Structure 1
Amino acid sequence: MGKLLSLNVGRDRASEHTDIGRTAIDKRPVEGPLAVVAPGPRGTPGSSGSALAGDQVCDDRHHGGDDQAVYAYSREELDLWQRELGRDLHNGSFGENLTTVGVDTTDALIGERWRIGPQVVLEVCATRIPCRTFQGWLEERHWMKRFTRQALPGAYLRVITPGEIRAGDEVAVLSRPTHRVTSGVVFRALTLEPDLLPLLLEVPELGAHQRDHAAQRLRG
């Protein structure tokens, strides 16, 4: 049994590191409770792009939607980066909505389901690929290359059962599929280890965008 250490939301702000000049990567902890509802397909008119009430997605061409509804990263992985970078990383520093403790995020299986609090059920469905917004936000030299080499991407989840969550809620893994494709495996396949790409086509729970991207790369 793990725990939701922090629930983090962000509002849009100006940024020179995005094509549209805005970002909501600056996520800050809130106690909640917050409503969690599937936002709809990416770019749905009137949707914030995020499953969490009060959270925003600015670049809805590349982020947000049902298959990137919630982003989770573990405190254990943030602590690893804290030591490596020699700087404090508050909960939400990586733009994550959920900062967990005692829960595998990078090693979560695609299709794994979590219950958070008494109501909400989420399903792991995609990985995070670093972008120049992330690079600009952290202001670390060669950050995208360093993040890629470390291969600790956390995980994106879709909403299965809506409800409310708050900081301090228990996180329970309800079910795991029988395959071995984790968020970390998807990350490695789409970045430095293309030999893993065929595995991604065998996982129907993987978000359509990343599954289609894998298929396109395999076709050459």
Structure 2
Amino acid sequence: MFKLLLIEDDTTLFNEMKDRLTQWSYDIHGISDFNKVFFEFTDIKPDLVIIDIQLPKFDGFHWCRLIRAHSNVPIIFLSSRDHPTDMVMSMQLGADDFIQKPFHFDVLIAKIQATLRRVYNYNTEKIEWKTWCGATVDYEKNTVSAATGAIELTKNEIFILKKLIEQKNKIVSREELINSLWDDKRFISDNTLTVNVNRLRKRLDEIGLGSYIETKVGQGYMAVEEVNA
């Protein structure tokens, strides 16, 4: 049974989500003190976090930053505001997905299932690491280690990198990446993938590898391999 933490201050919505998700055999937890969201997160140790942007005291972005500084747990944002920047900010902070309120419950379930399946199932493959451009990409630890240093990636970032490395020096279409990451592209903005890839490239820049993820305009992305690397 997966443990989900719902960081939502709307009591009516929280109770509805809890009732519906419990029917799907999820172990649902809420926040008792919105001044201590991070402390409750560390106590609960959830498998997935669903967090609203508008919260008392501090907004969801604040708590996401704190969580991401200590954990790569998958995070899905909720927002009642019709601001495209909310989705962009969420992805830049390392969120795995974004849902606009009001939402159909089937959409919420689909996104939760897709996220949990991606995060906790794909690492069961036999290949646990790969060398690329002289660096070691560890799919189990979500790390990339090079002579210039090491970085830890989010689940989305390592998944995108894995898909690109599997077909290095070949273009991977945006559609293929979207379908692999989120299962149902009807619920995904095309900009969501762009934000995720840009965040991945920015992280790789920290160890000098960002330029090896190339954008092929109108086609997709490609992980290039150094010659003789």
TM norm. shorter chain > 0.5: no
Which structure features the higher share of helix residues? 2
